[in-house]
Amino acid sequence: MFLPVFIFACVFNYLPMIGIRYAFTNYNGIKEPVFNGFENFQRMFSMVNFWKAFTNTIVISVVKLLLTTAFAVVVSLFLNEIVNLHFKKVVQTIIYLPHFMSWVVTASIFSLILAPTSHGLVNTFLVNVGILGEDQMIYFLGSTKWWRFAYYLINIWKETGWQTVIFMATLSGINTELYEAASIDGAGRWGKMRYITFPAVANTILTVIILNLAKVMNLFESAFVLQNDAVLDTANVLETYIYYQTFNSGSIPNYGYTTAIGLFKSIVGCVLVLVCNQWSKKVRDGRGIV
């Protein structure tokens, strides 16, 4: 049973690491790679667009992680308080379904909903209630001011249901005798949630955050399908920066340069996990996940 997983990890996770050597070469995929030392990294650190994409990646990924985790915890806590089991399962299913929708379909749907026309649901509503005039409609996905706000909302809608599964599993493992003892002591629903439920799920919250920090630098599909030329200053992240450098730079791509960027973001992701894990050990009496 272990062998297929081991083979999969070796083929798709460890063998590709051989390609790290291209980070120290000039390589266009046609001619043989030419060793150039740290030239790719010097070029990378001198590029303004690279640092802009790096900053966007950190900000967007961390804010998205915190928001989706916070909403998942809140939804899980309220779902845990629902007594009617049938209604509880229906609600769980409804909020879980968006996770299975592809980002391409999601982007298409929200492009229509947020469109700055009379067909856009959000803008039409804002006009009808008098918040906006008909000539003041907002292009949410084409405005540097509103793009991130729209992006975070879309991610919350799509990913909250997936994370609630993790937190609901934790909540279902809480000993019911604790709630019974709390009731005897006079604790109400909010008191039980505050002193029993939330402390029980706190360790899971920290574990989820630490594990997801390893992926904060791998932001691509969701940002790529929702961004456009008008919002690149705000929406361009490292993965899309690599994509544009490879396929849309107008010149022969240098795979050595893009490999160097990939190596750099992997190192940053590893450092983030290790730092957060050390912090976890300090606040949890030596308990971390690594």
Domain boundaries, given as residue ranges, for the chain: 60-236
> pLDDT confidence of 284, banded at 50, 70, 90?
low
- pLDDT above 70 for 191: yes
Smallest Cα–Cα separation from 212: which of 280, 282, 276, 262? 276
What share of the chain has pLDDT > 70, as a percent? 97
pLDDT at 189 > cutoff 80: no
Predicted local confidence at residue 288, as pLDDT: 59
258 Cβ contact partners less than 8 Å away, ≥ 6 residues apart: 242, 245, 246
pLDDT tier at 158, thresholds 50, 70, 90: very high
Instruction: Name residue 282's amino acid.
Output: K
Mean per-residue pLDDT, 224-237 = 91
What Rg do the C-alpha atoms of the chain give, in angstroms? 23
Average pLDDT over residues 226-243: 91
pLDDT band for position 285 (50/70/90)? low
- Residues 47-82: tens digit of each pLDDT: 989 999 999 999 999 999 999 999 998 888 888 878
Q: What is the mean pLDDT of residues 95-118?
A: 90
Homologous superfamily assigned to 60-236: MetI-like (1.10.3720.10)
CA distance 248 to 232: 14
The model's pTM? 0.87
pLDDT of residue 131: 84
